[in-house]
Amino acid sequence: MLAYALKRSFAAFLILIVVSALTFSLSHLSTDPALTIGGEQASEEDIEAIRKLYGFDRPVYEQYISWAARAMQGDFGTSYHYGQRVSVMIGERIGTTMALGVLAILFALIVSIPLGVLAAMKPNSIIDRIALFIAVLGQALPTFWFALMMMIVLGVWYRLLPISGNATWAHFVMPTIALGYYATPALMRLTRAGMIEVLGSDYIRTARAKGLSPTVVLFKHALRNAIIPVVALAAVWFGFMLGGSIVIETIFNLRGIGWLSYDALLRSDLPVVQAIVLIFASFYVILTLASDLLNAWLDPRISVR
Amino acid sequence: MKLAKFSAVGLAAALAASTALAGPDDNSLVVAWGSTGPIENVDNYFNTNRTGIWFSRMVWDQLIYRDPATFEMKPLLATSWEQTSPTTWRFQLREGVTFHNGEPFDADDVVFTLNWISDPDNGVKVQRNVNWIDRAEKIDQFTVDLHMKAPFPQAFEFLSGPLTIYPNEYYAEVGFEGMHENPVGTGPLMAESIKTAEEYVLVKNPNYTWGSPKGEAQVDKIIVREIADVQTQIAELLAGGIDITADITADHVDQIGGVPGFEALQAGTMRTGYIGFDAAGRGDFEPTTKLEVRQAMAHAINREALVANLIRGDARVIHTPCFPTQFGCDEDAAVKWDYDPEKAKALLAEAGYPDGFDIEFYTFRPADWAEAIMADLAQVGINATLTRMPYFALRDKQRNEGTTPIFLMDWGSYSMNDMSAITSHFFKKGPDDFALDDEVAAWLEEGDTAIEPEVREAAYAKAIEKITGELYWLPMFNHVRNYAMNAELNFIPYQDEIPRFWQYGWGDS
Amino acid sequence: MTDAAQSPGAFAPNQSDSFAPDKRDAVAPEPTFGGRTQQEIVDEVLEPSPLSKLRKRIFKNHSFLIGAAIIILMLAIALLAPVLAPHDPLETNLANRLQNPFWHEAKTMAEHPLGTDKVGRDYLSRLIYGAQVSLLIGFSSMLISGFIGTSLGVAAGYFGGRVDMVVNFIINTRLAMPVFLVGMAAVVAFGASLQVVILVLGLFLWDRFAVVMRSITMQARDLDYVKAARAMGCSTPYIIVREIFPNVIGSLTVVATVEMANAILLEAALSFLGFGVQAPTPSWGLMLNEGREFMFFSPWLLALPGACLFLLVLAINLFGDGLRDVTLERER
């Protein structure tokens, strides 16, 4: 088990190296950061001096190695545009994105688990069909479109919710729904499928035969078993959602790291972009690693070796 | 469609609800800003962002005030001035002014500020603003001499524009980082809180009563919110979350203006749009290096239709590579090109392209402007494909690779009413120069440095004639700024693109 | 934008499968892709779920037909665009811009039934040509991703061992990349154009192809006639192309529909943020971006391309679901 964990961790680490190296070369091959730093007034000599100072005259792989070495110590360099430490900028904004991601995944779970359970209890009923219909439509609906429609209806016409910013909890309602609804079809289907299977198992039949109340059977026995894979999938989805926050944060003017990455791309602020790509990738890799290790731990067959 | 029905309902709802707006009730003003992107540092000397220009006018004062309507120079922190030598100006300073932190204003502040910013080691971002200053010298507590490195005719453009006066003791202590966190000046508004890229809260300076030509703040509190997305800004405006936006399009002006409770208007600015050609062949694209081709394109583009339909407001077609109110920008010197597609076709044939050619068209502005121009070019057989890039990426590409054969761009001249702020920036063989014309560069140098106004004007006129005659640029139009606001706001637009938010008040005040 | 490429979509109905030991008796842990086993991903794409049976009922057992009909209709519109479109989609007329559609102004019916856009182009014609662009983007990037994913998956499945290990690593690396952010960075780096967008989408959306092909190839490898071909000394490429490929073509098509829908949605999202195809290409995604400016006052400019996009993606999903059922019935 330990050997497996080590092996998997090493692979995860390698993945982060490859992802960051690819991003690094992609951005450094295309723009000249010295010009961005120098600004409009910089002369040729200024630019040359900046190149030397920042080491842009060195080969890209050398630059990458020194960047990666510093990144591993949590030092992502300095933003070209803001002149601030990238780690500080991200530290200030990651909370907003994390809050949005957590709320969105909670929203998805709160909607999808009851729907999935109801649908599983009475397959082919009207509830089941409605749930299904939402799932089919939801998958074809562009997120940004849905977000804009919500903004128009709930924000402008009926003024039920604040439109932009992150001042209060109310500001997170629309972004949460917009980001969360996309995960609901998958989670709902999984809940439903899991429930149908568990409800049909011998173990539940036994429980029923023992005369336990249907509510107890449903919640204490069936749901508890069916929900584990749903939560595992939700963890993986959480990783996706952080990456998916770019459009939502831009539309609702939430100043998290999704917005920050968009803004940084617009002004070729490479250190910021690289750091955020690495953070998103790390979240994903860590969450999947955790879920792998959990599975391995739960599954005795794997620990045989 | 479902949505069309919604919109009718929605507009009615918006109308009904538009009375309950927060702004007038507590005498505060909420401003949305964002299209220019967040400001990196509100310290006036450490940003290159347009937000920084109007922010600096709110918190700080300059020595001199230039009336935005008449362009007249008026006393601000300096009460009078005289030239004591070709390179020296002497300023009498105003007495009884205090900074927001209580520090009294006197010659020490002016001397410190001017000497500090002109020291290249301090790394002021826009060196051009300060590199003409030699040093400042205290004569007595309210008299200062400013020594220039050489005679500098545009000095007052800078002294009334980017050069704001800082409190010496405070700035020496906190530096530009502290000035960003807690800006301190003499201006009509005092910073209450600064959240980078999110929100700036300013309150009225109660001591701004010494008769400044800028006037006292009309509201008690101004909140500036950074909102990047224009649609989000409009949603906030319609929902009552903000009181004014300046980032909308001409079409929004018509639409929002039609909603009761809101007002929208267009105000011309001195921001000058142009089509640049790679005449010097920096990108090795042959057609644009030929004068006939550039002439053909100039004749092919219907600038009047573009201005009348897409830009609107008081925008107009411009024929000079500068804005006509700017010093030296003589419209009579410019060679004018009229819309004449037949002539364009003939010129193309003459240049050896009877069937036209393919060309890449670059811009960072709304695609519809470029699309209209490209459609005009297509009429004479020039097949342009658009590459729309973020401003910074496009600028990098231009300076670095130079592979932009034709580009629609514009320049706001840092709101300075002098031709050197635009034409000299682009045609003195710097990284943004796609003409690389020695003669033009020399004339501009002469115009920038000569003392006699007539000599400057004559030199600039020659440059204008050659730039337009050789079509290094096809000047297009001046931009308009489009504003939408709560109808109760007393709004005053200015041509220099600098909103003076402190001057806007509520109701009949 | 929620990362469409990574949407788990339909999930395995039989969850116990995912923890089951591998059928080939391997004791070593199964490789996982983004925290999920190969079986889970294959199931999600290929298993006929009870849901899709239900969906059949909802759509009167015709989801495949409905999907196919819409797709064929869209294809026909795309191919016949020059005939169907009343105007050149690129022809501007500044004096005639922002005309209302017929339900607001009957008089526009004859000339511009759906009105005109910001520079006076006929909106109906642009929507019609938009079908070309969306289908082209979806189809081309699907071909690219299909080629990459299939090559990797088949190689991993057929050769196993080291090759398999390397391919697994590549797949997991790709999954760890925040597609949307890296995609935007790539568009900035190489300049936005139709070709670049297609290439970027193609280079990013191949993971599902690889996982599914790997699994199917592994099973096919052990089939008798493939073993026989190997025994007869047939070359590896021959075996892959002639013996294995015909086995997987059905599943390949199903995955292709999923990725095509993803590519179309992702292009729309990229274009929406201004990192997609360039104007004046009549792409629905770009039209959404342009129409957004009018979303409060002329919402049809946003609603029409949005509806087209929604319809196409829905049709492709329905088609894929239906195809999955058909294919699996045949293959079993």
Contacts of A233 in chain C (CB under 8 A): 8, 11, 36
Of A4, A137, A148, the CB nearest to C292: A148
What is the distance between the alpha carbons of residues B418 and B326, in angstroms, rounded to a whole number? 4
Chain B hits for C90, CB-CB cut-off 8 Å, are 375, 378
pLDDT at C10 over 50: no
Whether C18 has a pLDDT exceeding 80, the answer reads no
Is the confidence at residue A30, as pLDDT, over 70? Answer: no
Nearest to C170 by CA among C155, C186, C158, C189: C155
pLDDT value, residue C228: 82
Q: Which of C98, C104, C123, C278 to mutate to test the interface with B (most CBs of B within 10 A)?
A: C278
How large is the average pLDDT for residues B407-434? 90
Q: Between the CA of residue A22 and those of A79, C182, C186, C228, what are the distances in Å?
A: 20, 9, 11, 43
On whether the CB atoms of residues B223 and B449 are closer than 8 A, the answer is no
How close C201 gets to chain B, by Cα (Å)? 19
Summarize pLDDT for B70-95 with one digit per residue, the tens.
Answer: 889 999 999 999 999 999 999 999 99
Q: What is the DSSP letter of B310?
A: I
Please count the other Cβ atoms lying within 10 Å of the Cβ belonging to residue B40. 24
pLDDT at B476: 96
Q: Provide the pLDDT for residue A168.
A: 86
Q: What is the mean pLDDT of residues C208-222?
A: 84
User: pLDDT value at position B40?
Assistant: 82
Which DSSP category does C12 fall into?
A: -
Q: Say yes or no to pLDDT of B3 above 90.
A: no
**DSSP single-letter state for residue B347:** H
Q: Per-residue pLDDT tens for B246-299?
A: 889 888 998 898 889 999 999 888 899 999 999 999 988 999 999 999 999 999
Instruction: Look over chain A and give the mean of its residue pLDDT values, rounded to a whole number.
Output: 83
Q: How confident is the model at residue B434 (pLDDT cuts 50, 70, 90)?
A: very high
Q: Which chains touch B (3 or more CB pairs under 8 A)?
A: A, C
How big is chain C by its Cα radius of gyration, in Å?
22
Chains A and B: how many Cβ contacts under 8 Å? 102
The closest alpha carbon to B462, from B414, B423, B432, belongs to B423
Confidence band for A131, pLDDT divided at 50, 70 and 90: confident
**Contact assignment for A156 to B10 by CB distance below 8 Å:** yes
Q: Which residues of A touch B6 (CB under 8 A)?
A: 152-153
pLDDT of C111-134, one tens digit each? 888 888 888 899 999 999 999 999
Q: How far is Cα C257 from Cα C263, in angstroms, rounded to an integer?
A: 10
C-alpha distances (whole Å) from A18 to each of A72, B244, B403, C6, C150 are 14, 47, 32, 19, 22
Is residue B389 within 8 Å of B362, Cβ to Cβ? yes
- List CB contacts of A110: < 8 A, sequence separation 6 or more: none
3-state secondary structure (DSSP) of residue C181: helix
* B221 alpha-carbon distance from chain centroid: 25
The string of pLDDT tens digits covering residues B455-507 is 999 999 999 999 999 999 999 999 998 999 999 999 988 888 888 999 999 97
Q: Please check whether residue B79 touches A, CB under 8 A.
A: no
Task: Choose among A84, A153, A253: nearest Cβ to B228.
Answer: A253
Q: Given an 8 Å threshold on Cβ–Cβ distance, is C296 in contact with B255?
A: yes
Q: Which long-range contacts (CB under 8 A, 24 or more apart) does C76-81 make?
A: C77/C128, C77/C131, C78/C131, C78/C132, C78/C135, C81/C128, C81/C129, C81/C131, C81/C132
Q: Which of B163, B161, B148, B57 is nearest to B109 (CA)?
A: B163
Percent of chain B with pLDDT over 70: 95
DSSP-assigned letters across all residues of B100-147:
TTSPBP-HHHHHHHHHHHH-GGG--S-HHHHTTEEEEEEEETTEEEEE
- Report chain C residues whose CB lies below 8 A from the CB of A141: 310
Tell me how far apart the alpha carbons of residues C240 and C226 are, in angstroms, rounded to a whole number.
Answer: 9
Cβ neighbours of A1 (radius 10 Å): 14
Give the span between the Cα atoms of B174 and B43, in whole angstroms: 11
Q: What angle do CA B16, B19, B22 make, to 5 degrees?
A: 140
Instruction: Count other C-beta atoms under 10 Å from residue B296's C-beta.
Output: 30
With contacts defined as CB-CB under 8 Å, which chain C residues touch B315? Answer: none
> Which two tokens mark B261?
């409770």
DSSP 8-state assignment for residue C6: G
Instruction: Output the pTM of the full model.
Output: 0.84
**Whether pLDDT at C25 is above 50:** no
Per-residue pLDDT, averaged over B159-175, amounts to: 93
Minimal C-alpha gap between C313 and chain A (Å):
5
C205's tokens: 């959306």
Identify which of A151, A162, A253 has the shortest CB distance to residue B227. A253
Structure tokens at B255: 């639409």
Interface check for B174 against chain A (CB to CB < 8 A): the answer is: no
Is C280 within 8 Å of chain B by CB? yes
Q: Which residue of A has its CA nearest to C31?
A: A292
Q: What pLDDT is attached to residue A40?
A: 57
pLDDT of residue C250: 75
Q: In whole numbers, what is the pLDDT of chain B averaged over residues?
A: 89
**Neighbouring residues of B343: CB distance < 8 A, sequence distance ≥ 6:** B296, B299
Q: In angstroms, rounded to a whole number, what is the distance separating the alpha carbons of residues B460 and B446?
A: 8
Chain C's closest residue to A141, CA to CA, is: C310
Question: Which one has a higher pLDDT value, B214 or C220?
Answer: B214
Half-sphere exposure of C122 (CA within 13 A, CB side): 17
Residues of A in contact with B9 (CB under 8 A): 157
Contact predicate B372/B310, CB 8 Å: yes
Record: contact B239-A156, CB cut-off 8 A: yes
Range in A176-180, B8-12, B390-394, C228-232 the model is least confident about: B8-12
Q: Pick from B317, B321, B300: which is nearest to B308 by CA?
A: B317
CA-nearest residue to B393 within chain C is C188
Quickly state the pLDDT bin for B400 (edges 50, 70, 90).
Answer: confident
3-state secondary structure chain A: CHHHHHHHHHHHHHHHHHHHHHHHHHHHHHCCHHHHHHCCCCCHHHHHHHHHHHCCCCCHHHHHHHHHHHHHCCCCCECCCCCCEHHHHHHHHHHHHHHHHHHHHHHHHHHHHHHHHHHHHCCCCHHHHHHHHHHHHHHHCCHHHHHHHHHHHHHHHCCCCCCCCCCCHHHHHHHHHHHHHHHHHHHHHHHHHHHHHHHCCHHHHHHHHCCCCHHHHHHHHHHHHHHHHHHHHHHHHHHHHHHHHHHHHHHCCCCCHHHHHHHHHHCCCHHHHHHHHHHHHHHHHHHHHHHHHHHHHHCCCHHHC
Between the alpha carbon of residue B232 and those of residues A248, B226, B237, the distances in Å are: 12, 11, 9
Give the gap in angstroms from C-alpha A43 to the nearest C-alpha of chain B: 8
Q: Express each pLDDT in B373-385 by its tens digit.
A: 999 999 999 999 9
The whole-number pLDDT of residue B384 equals: 93
Q: Give Cα C265 to chain centroid, integer Å.
A: 8
CB C55 to CB A132 under 8 A?
Answer: yes
Whether the upstream peptide bond of residue C237 has omega within 30° of 0, thus cis, is no
What CA–CA distance (Å, rounded) separates B252 from B332? 35
DSSP-derived secondary structure letter, B164: B
Q: What percent of chain A has pLDDT over 70?
A: 92
For residue A185, what pLDDT band results from cuts at 50, 70 and 90? Answer: confident
Are the C-beta atoms of C9 and C258 separated by less than 8 Å?
Answer: yes
Which pLDDT score is estimated for B496?
81
What is the CA angle B132-B137-B141, rounded to 5? 135
ipTM given for this complex: 0.83
Q: Which of A144, A199, A227 to mutate to test the interface with C (most CBs of C within 10 A)?
A: A144
pLDDT at residue number C6: 35
Cα–Cα distance measured from residue C319 to residue B104, given in angstroms and rounded to the nearest whole number: 77
Q: CB count, 10 Å around CB of B383?
A: 12
List the structure tokens of A98. 């994390």
Determine the Cα angle at B415 with ends B127 and B164, to 5°: 55
For residues C71 and C91, the answer to whether their CB atoms sit within 8 Å is no
User: C128 to each of A53, B354, C93, how far by Cα in Å?
Assistant: 54, 33, 19
The partner residues of B203 in beta bridges, in order of sequence, read: B190, B221
Where residue C19 falls among pLDDT bands split at 50, 70, 90? very low
B399 CA: distance to closest CA in chain C (Å): 16
